[in-house]
Chain A
Amino acid sequence: DTEVTQTPKHLVMGMTNKKSLKCEQHMGHRAMYWYKQKAKKPPELMFVYSYEKLSINESVPSRFSPECPNSSLLNLHLHALQPEDSALYLCASSKYTGGRGQDYGYTFGSGTRLTVV
């Protein structure tokens, strides 16, 4: 299994809703990431988890709350979002945060298209 699986693929939520994005990988990777991509822009890093511990938070607003329950799962909890948070949210994983070459295996999921209304 060489995939990163994200659910749901599409999500529409109101500004007062609470929802969660889920990400799963079974490649034995110990680093997992959340990226955000706006239309016609490159992906931008939000969070890095290394061995289930948060290692990087790129000054993301607290309405985004990541969680790594185990080495295979990564969640992103959403609460009180704004319309400008509408974007494609990408999960990725890699063998380690400092891997190189074949050791890296930096793999992205297909993303969750989030629309905040």
Chain B
Amino acid sequence: DQQVKQNSPSLSVQEGRISILNCDYTNSMFDYFLWYKKYPAEGPTFLISISSIKDKNEDGRFTVFLNKSAKHLSLHIVPSQPGDSAVYFCAASTGNTGKLIFGQGTTLQVKP
């Protein structure tokens, strides 16, 4: 049973445009969400996070939106740059366990 789902395996965007990566979850107990970026042969790099008490968090070119009623979050990257090309993972956690549950990832390609 996949509790965190990223239904788009890949996304291709032109440089300068907006990239929107989506993530859905099923467990209503999740109270904290994180986005990570991953290059091949490297560990995930933290991008941005959001608590379930908020509906938006912004950090530079990255904005995460949370819709609790729809159990959906999205990561917006504006403007997209070729260096953003990577696999993006959505992750969720609950309580104080420290356990992160990851989605399957979305491969973003930003074309020059």
Interface residues of A (CB under 8 A from B): 4, 6, 31, 33, 41-45, 48, 50, 55-56, 90, 92, 94, 96-98, 100-101, 104, 106-111, 113
Contacts and interface: CB of A to CB of B under 8 A. Distances in A.
A42 B46 contact: no
Given A6-B43, A55-B97, A106-B100, 18 more contacts: A4-B43, A42-B89, A42-B104, A43-B44, A45-B99, A45-B100, A45-B101, A48-B99, A56-B99, A90-B43, A97-B96, A98-B96, A98-B97, A100-B49, A101-B49, A106-B34, A111-B41, A111-B43
Given A42-B89, A100-B32, A56 B97 contact: yes
B99 to A, nearest CB: 5
B64 to A, nearest CB: 13
A98 B43 contact: no
B46 A41 contact: no
A104 B100 CA distance: 12
Given A48-B97, A100-B51, A101-B51, A42 B41 contact: no
In this complex, the member of A50, A94, A108 whose beta carbon has the largest number of chain B beta carbons within 10 angstroms is A108
B51 A98 contact: no
**Looking at chain B, what size class is its interface with the partner chain?**
20 to 34
Contacts of B112: none
A79 B46 CA distance: 32
B17 to A, nearest CB: 26
Given A43-B44, A104-B49, A108-B43, A33 B36 contact: no
Contact of B44 (A45, A55, A90): A90
19 contacts: A6-B43, A33-B98, A42-B102, A42-B104, A45-B99, A48-B97, A48-B99, A50-B98, A56-B98, A94-B98, A96-B96, A98-B96, A100-B51, A101-B49, A104-B32, A107-B46, A109-B43, A110-B42, A111-B42
Interface of B: 32, 34, 36, 41-46, 49, 51, 89, 95-105
Contacts of A41: 104
Contacts of B101: 45
B43 A110 contact: yes
